[in-house]
Structures are given as structure tokens and as C-alpha cells.
Structure 1
Amino acid sequence: MTTPNVSFEFFPPQSLDASFRLWETAQVLAPLKPGFVSVTYGAGGTTRKLTHEAVATIHKHYGLNVAAHLTCVDATRAETMEIVNSYAEVGVTEIVALRGDPPKGAARFTPHPEGFASSVELIEALAEDGRFTIRCGAYPEPHPEAADALADVRWLKRKCDAGATSAITQFFFEADTFFRFRDACVKEGITAKIIPGILPIQSWKGAKNFAQRCGTSVPAWVEEAFTAAVRDDREQLLATALCTELCDKLIEGGVEDLHFYTLNRPQMTRDVCHALGITPDAVLENVA
């Protein structure tokens, strides 16, 4: 089996305990030599300053290639480009450009009157700036605001045409979900790399809530398996096995890159990577 390239998503800490968790996560996963790590914004851009601080620290102290998240929420174009400049100043060369979730309490995204109206506009500005590799988001199942699955594919095409060179998908439970989406992207003429987003399930209850919010369907067999596993106190064992199996199927289907949503809890991500043959020793052997 081909060993995939991996990348990891972190989120910025909002407390002292959360800070320790983030730095532990970076320490545990950095030896696996990810191609990049991304750092998120909170909903509505609420962690903008914290995100910048986390990006700068991870880049400086762990030597990792950081792809900083950037959204259109609640900021003027000038303010957003000021953030872009601050990323460049600390050595960041990659940005994950997103529209962003609505601020807390808002039903829908409403553009700032002087801001970017969409992820496409943000990507166009970043491409014109010319200093960054631009990544974007993708939805293998319809985004809650999309008319249908094809609308998501066509919107992704617009983002790629605007300057995004790769896309990271929302998480999903079955490999076929990704393969159908990948085929639809090829049919629509998208040539950018589509990287599947992988969610190691730390809590089944939390994963279900997350799936509901972002439009990810939960197969009946997954629901039944976790219901039994929670009852029998083997939830983590099942989660690790299913995550590893999902990654195996994706790799068998030709996927070369995997992006893990770590939730700043690195152990399961590390265990899955080890099961896939991605260990510090293996990384060193490949370098040699």
C-alpha cells in the first residue's frame, strides 16, 4: 500500500488548558512530517487574533508549514488584507481561503458592506497578491445552503478558476462519498487536487452533532456500530478501526493526500497514521 502524504488541522486555544493541548498536539504530530498544518478561525472570525498567534508560534517553534485559515466574516477588505500581510510577515506561505460560518446567532452569512462577498472574491484577491499558495474548502455532500450537489461542484470550479490550487473536503463516513464527488469534479473540469478531510471520532455524540451542522449524512450502519460500541465501552477502539479502514479504502482508490481534523487531540490521529505506515522512523527512511 502506498504511504500517503498527511496534513493536520488544529484550532487556536482560548484558555490556558487549551494552549497546553495545542502544543502537545503539535509535539505529537510534528515528527510525522506533515506536508502542512492548518489553523482554523472560530465561527464568525471570533478567534482571529488567537489564530494569528497560534500560526506564528507553530511556524517558529515546530518548523511546520502552516496554512492559515482566512475568512470573509465580519471584516472589511482592508482589514482582511491587513491579516494577510501579518501572515506573510511571520513566514506563512499558504492560506486556506473560506467564506466562513455566520457569526453566532446569525442564521445566514451576510457580507460586510466593505468586505469580500464570497470565498471566490477572497481567492481572487489572494491570487492577485501573489504571495501565497491558496487552498479552499469542498463539500462531498451538499452544503446546507447549496441547492444540490452539482451546485457545490460548480462553485468549487469557480474557486479553482479564481486561483485555488487544492481543496480540502468536509469530513464524510464512507469512501464512496468521496469517490463520487471526485468523479463529479473531474467531469466538471476541475484539475486541482481534492484532499479528503478525515475526522477521527473522539466522541460519537460530538461527531453526530458536527455532521448535522455541516450536512454530512450518517449511514445507518455507522450509527448502529457506534451505538453498540458506546454501550460496550469500546467507542475509541471502533473509532480508530473505522478511521483506519476509511483511509485504507481512499488510498486504494488512488488518494495520495489525507487531511486530519485533529480537534487538538492527537492520539487517535497518530495511531491511525502509524497503522497506515506513517511513523517517525518511516519518514526518516523515506528522506534517506
Structure 2
Amino acid sequence: MFVKDMFRRGRPVVSFEIFPPRGGVPVEEVYRTLGAIRDLKPDFVSVTYGAGGGTRDSTLEIASVVKNRFGLEVMAHCTGLCHGPVEVDEMVEDLMYEGVYNLLAMRGDPPRDGGVPRDPAFPHAVDLIRHLRLAFGDEVCIAAAAYPEGHVEAEDLEEDLRYLKEKVEAGVDFLVTQLFFDNELFYRFMERIRAMGIGVPVLAGVFPVLNPKQVERIVSLCGVSFPPKFTRMVARYADDPGALAEAGVAYATEQIVDLLAFGVDGVHIYTMNRPDTTRRIMNNIGLVSGRG
């Protein structure tokens, strides 16, 4: 099923994001995660793609297992920076052969050791989106990333919103946002993109912070801002991992409840392959999301 059709059901779409294992962790760990969250019945599961295409085979395998073993709808990340048109087409054809027709088209991050072509075929996400739509037409459902506070590489939010509109006009069916911790920034973002004529559904990305290292990584990679309430939470429980994890779940739950009250199209939960955390959040929001 195309994810774009799920938004017509009359209730918020809820999706989970998982990532292929790294550092020698066996892929079976991901399957245990999937087994533990299967009964939560997310509308779909998103499978990430490593920098430079480093997890291509794992992404394909996991996406197939999500769809064909666990019976859940799936969206596979598809990046273009380090791939040419032939590679991209082969990857999408392999996914389609496994029954995966939902794609999140992204530029992708360069590998840490370099390896980016001198003249990449898809230097920006919009280039990949145009290619996918031309090559596969309506056979695929294409999502793109959105950044409520602007992409870290953009000059400012205005520039990033112009790029976002280009992506949507190139053939995007819905958007998934980067994580954020201040809902008011998201609401202002929604007002602005709707005023620009961007009318596709938007999934709001929520990340449950469980330890201080995650906060440091978020700052270094994403450049998102932290509202005072969040900053106080991290400072208060920085030396108590258990308490911070509890507070992180509570904060994410409160965020989602507020987003649902706003009338958001859906919520995308960055699970970090933590089924226990995901289950607690889903139990907390069950009634307000229409899943209780």
C-alpha cells in the first residue's frame, strides 16, 4: 500500500523508524526489535540507509523482512549522492521486487572516508526525486525530508523552504520532518509551508532522548534548538540515566499529545531500535491517537 493513501483514513498516521545494525551487531537484533513492536501496528516502518550507501544490502534485506515476514508496510530510504542512475534504478527495482514501493528520497550523507563522485548525478535530493518520478512514474510513492528549523547547510530557513517547495513540485507525495523538540517551531513551519502552497501531508518527527550523548550528537549533526523545558530536563537528570530515560519518554509523549491536538497529519517516531521505549510511548498516546 502507498503511504500517501494512508492519510485518507481519517486518523493520524503513526510510523516507526529503524536502522540497519552497525559495528558488527547482527541483523537479527533488528528482527527482534521488529518482533517486539509488531503488535503495536504502526501504519508503516521506515528503514534508514547508511552514509554513502554503506548499508544498502541490509536496508534491502530488512525492508523485505518488514514487509514479507512481519506483514507491516515499509518505506525504504533511498539516497543519491554516492550513486549513479543505474545503481539507483537497480536498487529501486530490487525493492519493488520485494514488494516495497514507498521511498524516502534524500541526498544522503557522504561517507566519513570520502568517496563522493567529483560530479555526482544527484547532488541534491530534488535531483533524485526528479529522476525517480521520471523513471518509475506512479509505480512508487515518494517522500522527502523537511526541516522545521531549516537544514543545517542552508543559509537560512527562507532558502531551505524554497528548496522544500522545489522537492514537492518535483513529485513528492508526503514529507517527514527532522526531529524537533519545540512544537511551536513546527506549528510556525506548517503555517509557512501551507501559505507557500505546499499542501502534501507532513509527518512530524519525534525523538525520545534517553541519554546525554544523544543530545550531544543531535547538536553536532542537526543543529536543532532546545526549548528551556527540555534543557532543564537534561540538566536535572544528566547524572541519572534511569531518570533521564523516564523523563525523555514523558517529554516525547507530551510532545506527541500536543501534536495530535494540533491536528497533525501524523507522527514519525525515531525508535533508535528501542522497542521498550517505543511501546511505552505508544501505550501513553493510545487513546488520543485513536489506537487505544
TM-score by length of 2: 0.89
Which residue type is aligned with residue 98 of structure 1?
Answer: M
Cα distance between partner residues in 2 of 1:102 and 1:278 = 41
Cα distance between partner residues in 2 of 1:164 and 1:3 = 21
The structural deviation recorded for 1:246 is 0.5
User: Residue 37 of structure 1: SS of its match in structure 2?
Assistant: strand
How many residues are aligned here?
A: 279
Cα distance between partner residues in 1 of 2:124 and 2:274 = 31
Cα distance between partner residues in 2 of 1:59 and 1:17 = 22
The structural deviation recorded for 1:215 is 1.7
The structural deviation recorded for 1:73 is 2.3
Q: Within the alignment, does 1:250 sit opposite 2:250 as a pair?
A: no
Identify the residue that residue 46 of structure 1 maps to in structure 2: 54
Identify the residue that residue 155 of structure 2 maps to in structure 1: 147
* Aligned match for 2:243, one of 198, 220, 234: 234
Cα distance between partner residues in 2 of 1:10 and 1:28 = 13
Identify the residue that residue 119 of structure 2 maps to in structure 1: 113
- C-alpha change, 1:76 and 1:17, in structure 2 (3 Å) is closer
Identify the residue that residue 162 of structure 1 maps to in structure 2: 170
User: Residue 62 of structure 1: SS of its match in structure 2?
Assistant: coil
Which residue type is aligned with residue 38 of structure 2?
Answer: A
* Aligned match for 2:128, one of 85, 100, 122: 122
Identify the residue that residue 268 of structure 1 maps to in structure 2: 277
The structural deviation recorded for 1:3 is 6.5
- 1:142/1:215 contact within 8 Å kept: no
- 2:81/2:120 contact within 8 Å kept: no
- Which one is further off, 64-73 or 196-205? 196-205
The structural deviation recorded for 1:62 is 0.4
- 1:77/1:114 contact within 8 Å kept: no
Cα distance between partner residues in 2 of 1:226 and 1:247 = 19
- 2:173/2:201 contact within 8 Å kept: yes
The structural deviation recorded for 1:201 is 1.3
The structural deviation recorded for 1:84 is 0.8
Identify the residue that residue 76 of structure 1 maps to in structure 2: 84
Unaligned runs of 5+ in 1: none
- C-alpha change, 1:12 and 1:112, in structure 2 (3 Å) is farther
Q: RMSD over aligned Cα, in angstroms?
A: 2.2
- 2:201/2:265 contact within 8 Å kept: no
- 2:81/2:124 contact within 8 Å kept: no
Identity in percent: 35
Unaligned runs of 5+ in 2: 1-9
The structural deviation recorded for 1:277 is 1.0
* Aligned match for 1:180, one of 177, 180, 188: 188
Identify the residue that residue 5 of structure 2 maps to in structure 1: none
Cα distance between partner residues in 1 of 2:11 and 2:277 = 18
- C-alpha change, 1:30 and 1:94, in structure 2 (3 Å) is same
The structural deviation recorded for 1:48 is 1.0
Identify the residue that residue 67 of structure 1 maps to in structure 2: 75
